[in-house]
Structure 1
Amino acid sequence: MNTQRIPHSPGPRAWLGLLVVLGPVLLVAMDGSVLFLAMPEISRALSPTAGQALWILDAYGFAVGSLLIASGNIGDRYGRLKLLMTGTAVFGAASAGAALAPGPELLIAFRALMGVAGATLLPSALAVLSALFTDPRRRAKAIGIFAAAFAAGFAIGPVVGGQLLSSFWWGSVFLINLPVVVLFLALAPVLLREVPATPAGRTDILSILLSASGILLTVYAIKHAAAEGLTPTPVATGTAGILTLGWFTRRQLHLEHPLIDFSLFRDRVFTIAAITGLLPLAAWSAMAYLSGIYLQSVLGLKVLDAALLALPGAAALTLTCIVTPALAARTGTRAALITCHFLIATGLLLLLATSASSGIGWYVASTIITGLGYGISFSVVADTAVAAVPPERAGSAAAIAETSNEIGNALGIALLGSLAALIFRLQGPHIAGTLNETLQAPGLTATVIGDAKSAFVTALHITAALAGILHTALGIFTLRHLPKAPTHTDDTYPGPGPGGPLAQDTTGNHSIR
């Protein structure tokens, strides 16, 4: 039997370093979702338009997703710990600015700045973590904890936001970041060490600008069309965005050191894993946002009660993320990928049983079942990305995996959220562009209020059904097209290569256990 064993194990300093690294990880993940239950309060305080409300939610996610790949390359070149500390400091300053923003425009700007800083944290944190744990088994355990913390941050974000809003004003959901930032900046220089820079090649500034502007132009067009119809403005910006993204893709194919190596997508395993990183986050973010409005504005629950209802799903997601690495080692990553999509689809379709007058039980059941699927997907994608690359490229590889998550998080609100907004605009009482704006209008009759709530529930149902169908389709595609690998019998940690989670089949594609 061929084994690989590392004679030394990490000491207490490594595990303390892991705890310190988890602080920024939790912040980045939590701030991607902390506003889902806070938006009704922010809408009442700042009165954003329908478009501004969506940008408040996903300016952060798009900034993170647009810059993650570049941040991974910069960290590889100039030092990951240095970038991690700088990004954390900027993240704290931007959080304070967001908490004190007097209007929606400044709040959007500070949310975007938080996203720019957040983009530096995830790939750098995972690379520093990988350097702390050189033993493959313990590194796998540490990465599992990292993935669980990231998933927990997304899951508990709405809960934390709801708890804070029950006692404080809306800005408290940002100020909660500051103690974690201060603690990290104090302990990181003591417990963490710099990872040696590697010659990762020149960072292509034009590629960064093309990717970010292409995404923003395209999403702006989608939001504008959903809120106001298909006018010349969204057509022009959407066309410009698509052309810009096409330019970005073409440029990557000819660069020696591209931001995204598109040749990786020739591998079926890599492609399915990347989509698995994107689609579940898209579904989760959109449904968490829409469900927050459903619970508060349709069913009339207080924000604290809505937050408490999110706890079972958050617990299911977090626990699943913790136990998935051990289960995947026995059943194989292929089975985990297939299972996660069918679980998510089942949970999403349960939301079709909700109505404008009842549905709390269906909502809780949906969050628990989808939480199981989300937890599996988060764990599998993160572990596969790190196991497939050499340690010196961990920053760039982690950036690719986390980019799919963050872009999925933002796209869920941008695309599925815009779909819900379009349906409400077409089905609603035509008073305002969103349910919250409509309910704030003076002199509403009970009939108009009922029509507005029913229109929102219809939008929720159609959005959930579409997301469920997409997950079902991806689950079937994974079942039919993801190649199997020989059963692994080695008792050591299965790393990349023959017999591990990533193996080569006879066609050159990776096969998955």
Structure 2
Amino acid sequence: MPTPQPATRREWLGLTVLMLPTVLLALDMTVLHLAAPHLSADLKPTSAELLWILDIYGFMIAGFLVTMGTLGDRIGRRRLLLTGATAFGIASAMAAFATSAEMLIATRALLGIAGATLMPSTLSLLRNMFQVEQERTVAITVWMTGFIVGSAIGPLVGGALLEFFWWGSVFLLGVPVMLLLLVCGPLLLPEFRDEEAGAQDWTSALLSVAMVLAVIYGLKDMARNGVSLIPLLSIALGLAIGMLFVRRQRRLAEPMFDLSLFAIRTFSTSVAAMMLTILALSGAWLMVFQYLQGVLDLSPLEAGLVMLPPALVQTVASLLVPRLTRYLPHWQLVSAGLVMATFGLLILLLVHSPAQIPLLIVGMTVMGVGVMPMMILGTDMVVSAAPARKAGAASATSETATELGMALGIAVIGSIGAAVYRQHMLEQLPAGLPDELSLAAGDTLGGAIGAAAQLGPELGAPVMAAAREGFSLALHTNSAIGAGILAITAVLVAVMLHSRTPDDGVEAEPTVPTSPDQ
């Protein structure tokens, strides 16, 4: 077996290029939530359409990640990355000028398909570029900070754009980032592919996409409208397709998705824990930006400034994670971090008024710092468990877990919060409102803001009071659900990874980070 070669200066410079997609995807998600009230007022989507605008991106990414990850193994990971960057830039421009909710949903779907090429390509390139385990841990940590940087600058840049321009301007942020990637990528990124891989199995690809979308659609519809025949049939269809997919992978000599990876306890536990962590966070995280603007009455820029301190602290904390692995095993760091994140979500239950914004900042900071060991070390364990030639498939599995968790959290937990809001508005809306405005106010916070603006001070004030109270209840509900899921995940990690051995596919001893100059 050849000795792993230390990374050169080109690899470390290439790492900065690989951060660009992570910054962009985090920024894209952040600014969309910030822009949600504005696009709601302009395009007037129903609550169902608004949820689709927010989560169709995650659904399509989750559906196509496995296909794109294995495609990158075959055609070249750099080639797939640059192709996806081109498509993402074009789709971003289309989304910016959408003229209806349906058009925005369609362009967000295209963004999701293009986005599915970016993350497995970048992560699998890291697996190949950084052959030394210690250097790879540091590289993945730096790569992961791209998400935090995107989350930090997203509210500020997005808030500034929304202060002076229309909501579509936030989507145009993707265009210059992708252009920079297209210029620097060919210069600094090497090309890697699996030379032993056969042709892409498009039948398996179609099955994987259909499986994910059918299950997600059923869960989303059931969470919103209750148990009925159509969503149950959709979930059953998705599970049946999933069984066909698994059976096909087991029969193929060269499967599209290597199911044997799930026999490695570290791999399977890390994948499950990452999905549950993102699921727990997404329901509350989605609502915080709307809460700051619609309930606490902050401008988009002010909301961005409120969210800056948590992002800055989270960035610093993420860079300390590799150093902490000198003293504590991975499972202890991950489990303790998830307990910390649980308390962060519980702190949000205490926020009721603008005077308690500092408390909200504390809660978001504690939550953000707590999840970093899970996201960094979990990703590291998943990628390291797979052979280098299968890095694309392993990376796709990791990203599928996080994107599926995000989509499920928005669809299921987000729908529960929406149901809490609607029930409160049904009970608290003043009598005598026009039916159209009553329905709009009872459907979404954006609808309530628009209705109040049309009703004038006498009726508008009680409508907004009811909406603010209802949305606060929804945020608290989602935070409580998320805290429960995080606590369960912390126990899962402690139980499943506490007794892992070197046979589980990763090093038994914690890795010691090295600097790029060593």
Q: Give the TM-score taking structure 1 as reference length.
A: 0.88
Distance in 2 between the 1:220 and 1:315 partners? 36
The CA deviation string for residues 48-83 of structure 1, in whole angstroms up to 9 with x for no partner, is: 111111111111111111111211111111111111
Q: Find the aligned partners of 2:219 and 2:354 in 1 and give their Cα distance.
A: 31
Alignment match, 1:452: 467
Which has the larger displacement, 221-230 or 85-94?
221-230
Q: Does 1:362 align with 2:372?
A: no
Contact between 1:222 and 1:418, CA under 8 Å: does it hold in 2? Answer: no
The answer to whether residue 397 in structure 2 is matched with residue 388 in structure 1 is: no
Query: Are 1:462 and 2:485 matched, yes or no?
Result: no
Greater helix fraction, Structure 1 or Structure 2: 2
1:196-215 residue pairs with structure 2 within 5 A?
A: 196-215=193-212
Residue 416 of structure 1, aligned match among 413, 416, 433: 413
**Aligned-residue offset at 1:445:** 4.5
Task: Between 385-394 and 466-475, report the one with greater CA deviation.
Answer: 385-394
2:449 paired residue among 439, 449, 457? 439
Report the identity percentage. 37
Corresponding residue for residue 491 of structure 1: none
Match of 2:170 among 153, 169, 173: 173
**Gap regions ≥5 residues in structure 1:** 488-494, 502-513
138 and 475 in structure 1: CA distance in 2 versus 1, 3 angstrom threshold: closer
1:353 Cα deviation (Å)? 0.9
| Partners of 1:357 and 1:319 in 2: CA distance | 27
With 126-135 and 35-44 compared, the bigger mean Cα shift is at 126-135
**Secondary structure of the equivalent of 1:134?**
coil
Displacement of 1:263: 4.4
After superposition, give the CA deviation of every residue in 1:392-439 in whole Å (9 maximum; x if it has no partner): 222211111111111112222111111111222222237332122133
SS in 1 for 2:217: helix
Query: Are the structure 2 counterparts of residues 266 and 136 from structure 1 closer, same or farther at C-alpha, using a change threshold of 3 Å?
Result: closer
Q: Please name the residue that 1:339 is paired with.
A: 336
Separation of aligned partners in 2, 1:485 and 1:233: 42
The range that moved more, 449-458 or 406-415, is 449-458
Q: Distance in 1 between matches of 2:390 and 2:234?
A: 36
Query: 1:102-251 residue pairs with structure 2 within 5 A?
Result: 102-154=99-151, 156-251=153-248
Q: Give the one of 47, 54, 61 matched to 2:44.
A: 47
Determine helix, strand or coil for the equivalent of 1:353: coil
2:308 aligned residue (308, 311, 314):
311
Match of 1:27 in 2: 24
**Residue equivalent to 1:426:** 423
Letter in 1 for 2:59: F
Whether 1:478 and 2:493 are equivalent positions in the alignment is: yes
Structure 2 gaps of 5+ residues are 427-437, 512-518
Q: TM-score, normalising length from structure 2? A: 0.87
Preserved CA contact (<8 Å) 2:43 2:99: yes
Query: For residue 444 of structure 2, what is the amino acid of its counterpart?
Result: T
Q: CA deviation at 1:42?
A: 1.0
Distance in 2 separating the partners of 1:285 and 1:160: 21
With over 3 angstroms needed to count, the CA separation of the structure-2 counterparts of 1:155 and 1:225, relative to structure 1, is farther
8 Å contact 2:329–2:510 — kept in the other structure?
no
| Conserved 8 A contact 1:123-1:395 | yes
Question: 1:265·1:271 contact (CA, 8 Å) conserved in 2?
Answer: yes
Take 1:472 and 1:439, find their aligned partners in 2: how far apart are those partners?
35
Q: CA separation in 1, counterparts of 2:308 and 2:202? A: 42
Instruction: Return the match for 1:64 from 61, 65, 82.
Output: 61
Q: What displacement does 1:295 show?
A: 1.2
Q: Does the CA contact (< 8 Å) of 2:63 and 2:213 recur in 1?
A: no
The answer to whether structure 1 residue 14 and structure 2 residue 11 are counterparts is yes
What is the number of equivalent residue pairs in this alignment?
491
CA shift for structure 1 position 357: 6.2
Distance 2:340 2:496 in 1: 19
Q: 1:499 to 1:446 in 2, by over 3 A?
A: closer
